Amino acid sequence: MPGALEGIRVLDVGLLVQGPQAGLLLADMGADVIKVELPEMGDHARWIVISEDDLRGVYFHANNRGKRSVTIDLRTASGVDIFKRLAADADVVISNFKPGTMESWGVGYDDLKAINPGIIWGAGSTFGPVGPDSDREGADLAGQAAGGLVSTIGHDGEPPTPVGATIADHCASQNLAAGVLAALVSRGRTGEGQRVDVSLLGGQIWAQASEYTHYLLTGEVPGRGTYGHPLLRGLYGLFQTQDGWIGIIGVPLDDQDAFFIAIDQPELALDPRYQGLLASREDMRELFARLNPVFATKTTAEWGEIFTKAGVRWAPVRDYSEVAQDAGAWENGYFQKLDDGRGGEVAVVPAPITMTGTPLVPSGWLPELGEHTDEVLQGAGYSAGDIARFRAEGAV
């Protein structure tokens, strides 16, 4: 079946995660994504390797499957001309340089709109396209730190710590893809393209909209998670078991008695301090302290069996190796083994979206730097002689 974005062409000029992951989502949806990289250097993600002995770049692998790689130096006049010719027939351009960079090269939104009024120009930045910090560079940690996420991680009284994943980049990439998709729908009605801007900072604020709304309404900073969530004061949090950790995912008021009976603590059901979702934080801290020794008496699996029978929502705290062995994750397609296009097989993390009419079709193959330069440029009307001249000039 054709993908939802069959016939859509994307020029992906992104680096690392924020731009490329948005491009990957569009590729999995069926778009033809041309990854534009700097000659000889390529996307910086190619150089974040596993080790000195294993030169695979995991960030590049994770975010650039199924794209065609073209090398173009946008700092050269010929490179700009080539890019503009490609943009004339493209639907979308994605980048995540510092604001003003694409404009300085002559390939900003206004430049491309002049030759292709239907172009959708999507840009990701760190702090947003305007404002006092707009010209500052950054990366994932900047979004986590400046966006407030770091202040919520960990436990009261301990030093701050970031999330151990590029979560700010991921949130921004999903926002960028969503904006591009909405712009494509709008263009279908009006025929006009538009500029789409997202940022790491904006993505983190949006991802914490409920918590920020609490602050905006009350003036109170929610604070650290401390084994749970600062705004959810019921039985919602993590407990250490005999062999690991388990999450209790909120116990509704009508089910609290069943929960306390399941953990063999029926007397707690009679304590008025622990009734209701408005119990004080101090009371919740005391309750968690009383429950910790109880949870330590059984394994996570044993507690899981008990809670499943009692109808209590729970989840094990797992590391990546445990999640990657989850049969359900594979059955739902959250992990897949795909043909790598070179006679082998590779395990990948595809977009976790299922569509019945236009299913996503992730690719396992990864482009070598500049692998499709000749193919794409010839498709744009350049001759072999033109391409040889561009290479001599360092434009491709």
| Domain boundaries for CATH 3.30.1540.10 within the chain | 228-317
Helix, strand or coil, per DSSP, at residue 238: strand
Architecture of domain 9-207+366-393: 3-Layer(aba) Sandwich (3.40)
Helix, strand or coil, per DSSP, at residue 37: strand
The catalytic residue among 73, 91, 169, 197 is 169
Q: 357 — alpha (psi -120 to 50), left (phi > 0) or beta?
A: alpha
What SS3 string covers 109-167? HHHHHCCCCCCEEEEEECCCCCCCCCCCCCCHHHHHHHCCCHHHCCCCCCCCCCCCCCH
Residues 6+ apart with CB under 8 A from 156: 223, 224, 226
What SS3 string covers 53-80? CCCCEHHHHHHCCCCEEEECCCCCHHHH
User: What integer pLDDT is reported at residue 382 of this predicted model?
Assistant: 98
Query: In whole angstroms, how large is the CA radius of gyration of the chain?
Result: 25
Q: Are 202 and 175 in contact (CB under 8 A)?
A: yes
What SS3 string covers 255-273? HHHHHHHHCCCHHHHHCHH
User: What integer pLDDT is reported at residue 47 of this predicted model?
Assistant: 95
Indicate the Cα dihedral angle 375, 377, 382, 387, nearest 10°.
-90
Residues 6+ apart with CB under 8 A from 353: 28, 360
Q: Are 273 and 284 in contact (CB under 8 A)?
A: no
User: What integer pLDDT is reported at residue 278 of this predicted model?
Assistant: 61
Helix, strand or coil, per DSSP, at residue 366: coil
- Total residue length of the chain: 396
The alpha helices in the chain, defined as continuous H runs, are: 18-28, 58-63, 77-88, 101-104, 109-113, 140-146, 167-190, 200-207, 209-218, 256-262, 281-295, 300-310, 320-323, 327-331, 373-379, 384-393
Distance CA(314)–CA(229), nearest Å, equals 15
Q: 377 — alpha (psi -120 to 50), left (phi > 0) or beta?
A: alpha
| Domain boundaries for CATH 3.40.50.10540 within the chain | 9-207+366-393
Closest of 12, 35, 19 to residue 200, by C-alpha: 19
Q: Is 374 a catalytic residue?
A: no
Per run of 10 residues, the mean pLDDT along the chain (length 396 residues) is 94 98 98 98 96 94 97 98 98 97 98 98 98 95 98 92 97 98 98 98 98 97 92 90 97 89 92 74 87 97 96 96 97 96 93 96 95 98 98 97
Distance CA(236)–CA(284), nearest Å, equals 10
Interior/surface letters 321-356, b for 16+ CB within 10 angstroms, e for the rest: eeeeeeeeeeeeeebeebebeeeeebebbbbeeeee
Backbone angles phi, psi at 202, to 5 degrees: -60, -40
Closest of 385, 388, 382 to residue 84, by C-alpha: 382
Helix, strand or coil, per DSSP, at residue 1: coil
Q: Are 91 and 118 in contact (CB under 8 A)?
A: yes
167-190 and 200-207 helices, crossing angle to 10° = 100
Architecture of domain 228-317: 2-Layer Sandwich (3.30)
Q: Are 233 and 278 in contact (CB under 8 A)?
A: yes
